[in-house]
């Protein structure tokens, strides 16, 4: 991934990546939350399937990049920090456990959606 940010200094580049990464993260949290809501409220709509597909596509991207977000890989060029949240505006503990936490929430949402489909 070669995104040119030559007009910014290194600190500005990392800050821009952190902002974009946080916005993308928030979008996917909302999408995962919608899948969970759909299952809990028994409101299965086209949006439920679109949301599920988006999360599965995100999972595919993560698999393609060996469990790492492409934005994390890009941000690594501008930081040598070992902190889990060097590339995103999240608390350290959440950045460290983000994939596990939201995979569990998504899986619960899918189980509930599956239950609603059966009954």
Q: Where do the domains of the chain lie? A: 10-118
Q: Round to whole Å and give the CA distance between 24 and 26.
A: 5
Distance CA 97, CA 92 (A): 9
- C-beta separation of 85 from 14 below 8 A: no
Question: What is the reported pLDDT for 4?
Answer: 59
Note whether 95 and 88 are within 8 A (CB): yes
Mean pLDDT by 10 residues, the chain (119 residues): 62 95 98 98 98 98 97 96 97 98 98 97
pTM of this prediction?
0.90
For residues 87 and 78, what is the distance between their CA atoms, to the nearest angstrom? 9
């Amino acid at each position: 991934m070669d995104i040119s940010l030559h007009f910014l200094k290194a600190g500005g580049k990392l800050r821009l990546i952190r902002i974009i990464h946080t916005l993308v993260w928030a979008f996917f949290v909302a999408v995962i939350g919608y899948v969970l809501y759909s299952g809990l409220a028994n409101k299965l709509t086209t949006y439920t399937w679109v949301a599920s597909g988006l999360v599965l596509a995100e999972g595919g991207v993560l698999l393609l990049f060996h469990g790492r977000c492409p934005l994390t890989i890009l941000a690594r060029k501008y930081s040598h920090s070992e902190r889990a949240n060097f590339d995103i505006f999240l608390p350290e503990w959440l950045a460290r456990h983000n994939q596990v936490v939201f995979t569990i929430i998504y899986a619960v949402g899918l189980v509930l959606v599956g239950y609603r489909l059966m009954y």
